[in-house]
Structure formats: C-alpha cells, structure tokens
Amino acid sequence: MRFVTRALATAALSSRPWVTARALSIGTVAASRHSTVGMSEFSHPLPGGILVKEHELSVPLDHEDPSGECLTLFVREVVKAEKQSDKLPYLLFLQGGPGFPAPRVSAPPSGWMKSALEKHRVLLLDQRGTGRSTPATPQHITAMGDPARQAEYLALFRADAIVKDCELVRSVVAGGEKLSLLGQSYGGFCILSYLSFFPASIERALFTCGLAPVGQPIDDVYRATFRRMEQRNARFYRRYPGDIELVRSLARTLDAAPADLPRGGRLTARRFLQLGLLLGSESGLETLHDLLELARAPGAPDNALPELFLVGVENAQAAFETNPIYWLLHESIYCDGAGSASGWAAERVQASLGPAWDYRTRLAEGDPPIFLTGEMVYSWMGEDYAGLRALKPAAELLARKADWPELYRPSELGTGEARCAALMSYDDIYVERQYSEATAGMLRWCRTWVSNEFQHSGLRDQGARVFEKLLAMAKGEVEY
C-alpha cells in the first residue's frame, strides 16, 4: 500500500540523557526491561515555533517471548513551543508501506502536521525495521543467518507486532493516555489491527486511503487491483497517446535484450512495466510520462538505452531495494490467520487474466496497448533487482508460510468506542474502494468520505484540508 511522504531532515538535537521508564503491564505487551527508553531533551525552537524530542525504546522482537531478543524502536515527538507545557492529546502517525519510516519534520511544518500541531502532540513512529528503528535492510537481514532464520525473523514485522509496539509507545511516551491515530495507506491497515487488539487505547482513528479489505481472499484483492490498473492505464494512454508505441518499443527492446542498470540490476521488460506503480498519485501520470521521454534522449550508443533513462528507472524503483520489507511482506498483509499463504498471489492472478496482461502478446506495432502493473510484487524481483537477490530464498519461504497469526478481529471492530473517519479515493489503484466501504461497515462508528478529487496521495497533496475534515468528522462536527 505504497505511499511515502516526502522526507525532510530535522535539526540535530541538543543532548541525549538516558532515563529508565517505569515497569509496564499491558496485556501481552509487558516486561520492564522492554520499557527502557532513551530520551533527548526538547530541541531549541525550530522555524515555525516547533520543538522536537527523540525517544528510543527497547521492545521485544517477538511480543509472545518478551524475555527474548530485543529491537530498538524510534519515535520522534513534535509539539509547538508555545504549547510545550500544555496537556495536549497525542496523535500517533502510522506510515504507509509496508516497510517505510515516518516522515521527517520540516521546519516550518507544513501540510497535515502543521494543522495537527495546533491541538496535538504528534508522535512519528519509525515502524520496526525502518528508519532509525532496528533496520531490516538487505545488509541486516542477510547477517541474520540462513534463509529459514531470515524468514522467521521477518515474519515478526507485520501489523500484529507493530501495534504491540504502539502500545509500548502509548504507555512510555504518552503516559498511558488514549491515542488519536492517523494512518496513511498501510498505516490504516495497522490502525485496524490496533482497533482489533487494543480498542480501549484509541480515542479517534483517521484513515487516509487505508481501510484494509478485511475478510477478502487475497486473490480477489488482486483481481480488483488489476481491474483498477486497466482503467488507470487507459487514462494514462488517453492523456499521452504517443506513449502507447513508446512503451511497446521499450518492452520489445528489453524483452529481446535486458539492459544492465548502473547499480547492478537488470532492466527486463517485466521490471520496466512495474513503473505503473507511479500512476497511483496525483502527479503520477506526468511523472511516468516525464521518465519515459528520457528514453528518447539523444547521444546513446547504438542499441543502448540512454543512461539518463536507466538511472531514472533505477531511482524510481530504488525503494524496493532500500526498503525490502515491501517486497518480502507485502502480500502477507492480506494473510489473516492460519491457512492463508500468499503463494505469490499477484503473479498467479495476473497469469489467470489471459493475453491482456501478457505483454508478449502485444509487442507488434498497432496491437492493443501494453498494460503497466501497479503495486504488485513478484517472485522474479529476486532476480532482476540486485539488492534483493540474496533475499530470494527467504522470500520464497515467506510466500509459502501458512501459519500467520490473525491481523483483525471483526467482533472487536464492531464493538469498539473509538470514533473513526475515513477518506477513500473513488478509483484508488492500491486499496480497492469497494472493499474499504465494506470494512467501514464493520466499524461501530465510522464516517466515510468517498471522493474522486483525490488519488491515493491525498494526504500528501492536500494534507491540511484532508486532516482537518477527517478530524471534524471523527469529532461529530460534520457528517461528510
């Protein structure tokens, strides 16, 4: 459920005195040695009149084994300087992904954060495996041991573990106060897990394009996603009809002879078509078109693609390698309980859709347009992406894993007291809107805002407006 807000560096903090927090007892999230927290003082005021504090918590790798291995969890707390001493509610932001850190703080703040800071202390969590929390990079994962050990380790990085981390954050950083939550895309999936396991911990929950398809079989999820991608491809080609033959020409060239990429990967036709991932944001059609036109840049040697184009493709797809959780665990976010192995579902569903989704049937000039794919992940990425090759055996084990723990409890979703509000993009290519509407119906109290004004990136594109309206909806000040 990919959407990562633009990262901006924050100022360095002045000091890092270490303190020890009190012992905890939070249901299954207990054990005093996991509540030790490293905490900085607030920074000096940054432009925009904000203060920033850093927290580092030691949390169990496996919350079912609190005496075992530990991870570091990083949280950044942001507050307006003039409100530093005020008793403000906490708003915890959960990032999209899976596998991406929280946004970094801009100074002065902008977008949704500027609005949130008027009435909240904002907590920015680097979910386990991301950012300044204990990482799950290729370097770190391969050092864990053999593929079986790697897969066992990575299986503990899903939403069911993330929300137990959040409970420790709530107790240690927020003093046990109820939290308000803002979840973008996969962050909303995590909110649903939080509402399932710890409903009493949440005051309000705001979803931006992130109501998970609770109870939907994974193959049905991908069939819906491919249908949305057909529509988005059609929109792209209507806007840029000249790109129909350009995409075809590039696919034909790469099918015959994959190109070597600067950082060691191979640009095959199938990898090239993954650039359709760009089409899910407000500016995605232009971003993709601008990248494709670099393939026409002059000066390349005979039978070679321009270096600018190859570097551009590599940059556009870099997050697959820097944040491998997205590839390794993406399909598992739809595996809810025992017997739910993913088995490379997107690959299986695409193959079942016939010639329309087989680019090799459309390589001749004048054939129907070739479809670009979306957020799907594939087994062959462990061959085409240099940074993923060492992780392919572990990825195969995770794809076959069938004993996943549950992610959601519909009975709890239907009885919780938290006030919820959700923005849904009408033709979202990442999170199927019809399934999101069904999930909203499972919640006891959820107001919905369905709009074709926004793409999946609505929180980034019009953050203040989206946040303020959802908050007002959750408070009961407006209905829609």
Instruction: Flag whether pLDDT at 382 surpasses 50.
Output: yes
Strand 50-60's sheet: what is its strand order?
18-19, 37-39, 50-60, 70-80, 121-126, 90-94, 179-184, 202-208, 419-425, 446-451
* DSSP track, 47-70: TTTEEEEEEEEEEESSTT-TTS-E
Mean pLDDT for 119-139 is 97
**pTM (predicted TM-score):** 0.92
Q: What's the pLDDT at 315?
A: 98
Distance, in Å, from the CA atom of 253 to the CA atom of 470, rounded to the nearest integer, reads 47
Residues in a beta bridge with 54? 76
Q: What's the pLDDT at 302?
A: 82
Tens digits of residue pLDDT in 305-340: 999 999 999 999 999 999 999 999 999 999 999 998
Q: What's the pLDDT at 1?
A: 53
Q: Do 365 and 248 contact (CB within 8 A), yes or no?
A: yes
Mean pLDDT over each residue of the chain, to the nearest integer: 92
Distance, in Å, from the CA atom of 18 to the CA atom of 11, rounded to the nearest integer, reads 20
Helices and strands (DSSP H and E) totals, the chain = 19, 14
Q: Which residues are catalytic?
A: 185, 403, 456
Tens digits of residue pLDDT in 424-462: 999 999 999 999 999 999 999 999 999 999 999 999 999
259 Rama sector, left if φ>0, alpha if ψ -120 to 50, beta otherwise: beta
Over the range 219-255, which residues count as b (16 or more CB within 10 Å of their CB) and which as e?
Answer: bebbbbbbebbeebbeebbeebeebbeebbebbbbbe
Q: What's the pLDDT at 421?
A: 98
Q: What's the pLDDT at 42?
A: 75
Tens digits of residue pLDDT in 264-279: 999 999 999 999 999 9
Instruction: Flag whether pLDDT at 109 surpasses 80.
Output: yes
Q: What's the pLDDT at 214?
A: 98
Q: Which two tokens stand for residue 354?
A: 């016939």
